[in-house]
Chains A and B, each alone.
Chain A
Amino acid sequence: GQNIDQPTEMTATEGAIVQINCTYQTSGFNGLFWYQQHAGEAPTFLSYNVLDGLEEKGRFSSFLSRSKGYSYLLLKELQMKDSASYLCALMDSNYQLIWGAGTKLIIKP
């Protein structure tokens, strides 16, 4: 079967850096996605990793280690608007997305 774990909630300070971890177990793997979701809104795409390593996009970076079943999303220079839930999603062998429960990130001034 498949399983995805991420912390339920994290708190960080405006201007700081935060790392949100995602661990997974799966029998088939075709990539890992990170999405951002503000309360009551739709998820929006942040990043996609299919090979090991770091993908950087402005203030956001995502890392993947397939051998360890591990990914993280790194957010730099945090802004108040970054307060949201961050969803980790695994693409399985059938190219369907399996979603983690999400990490609620609270940014404090």
Chain B
Amino acid sequence: DGGITQSPKYLFRKEGQNVTLSCEQNLNHDAMYWYRQDPGQGLRLIYYSQIVNDFQKGDIAEGYSVSREKKESFPLTVTSAQKNPTAFYLCASSPPVDYNEQFFGPGTRLTVL
């Protein structure tokens, strides 16, 4: 089955710790995205990548880092510099066409204790 997987579903971390969220897709999509969703707000773009070994900052990249060493994988690291990391994190991918329907993974809910 083709799709996007994110792990873990729920993640707890102590303040001051870095944590990495996994995102893997087997849809052969070139573009991948990380969003953050907070209650009552729309999805906000953290980082995106349109090709392997290249990625761009989104609207709220501060305190986050990514890598794109393989087409299938786009992990997100939430660093201790992120002041308010508790949120629902969504990974998405899309094929390389202008019509940019995005396919989403199930999400990771991160809670900082």
Contact = CB atoms under 8 A, between A and B. Distances in A.
Interface of A: 4, 8, 30-31, 33, 40-45, 48, 50, 87, 89, 91, 95-102
A54 B101 CA distance: 19
B85 interface: no
Given A42-B90, A42-B105, A91 B42 contact: no
Given A96-B45, A96-B48, A45 B101 contact: yes
30 contacts: A4-B42, A8-B40, A30-B100, A31-B100, A41-B106, A41-B107, A42-B90, A43-B90, A43-B104, A45-B102, A48-B101, A50-B99, A87-B42, A89-B42, A91-B100, A96-B45, A96-B100, A97-B43, A97-B45, A97-B100, A97-B102, A99-B35, A99-B42, A99-B43, A99-B44, A100-B42, A101-B40, A101-B41, A101-B42, A102-B42
Contact of A87 (B43, B48, B103): B43
B1 interface: no
A89 to B, nearest CB: 8
Contacts of B109: 40
Binding site secondary structure of chain A: loop
Interface of B: 35, 40-45, 48, 88, 90, 98-107, 109
Given A31-B99, A48-B99, A91-B100, A42 B45 contact: no
**Top 10 nearest A-B pairs by Cβ distance?**
A99-B42, A42-B104, A99-B43, A101-B42, A100-B42, A95-B100, A42-B106, A43-B104, A101-B41, A45-B101
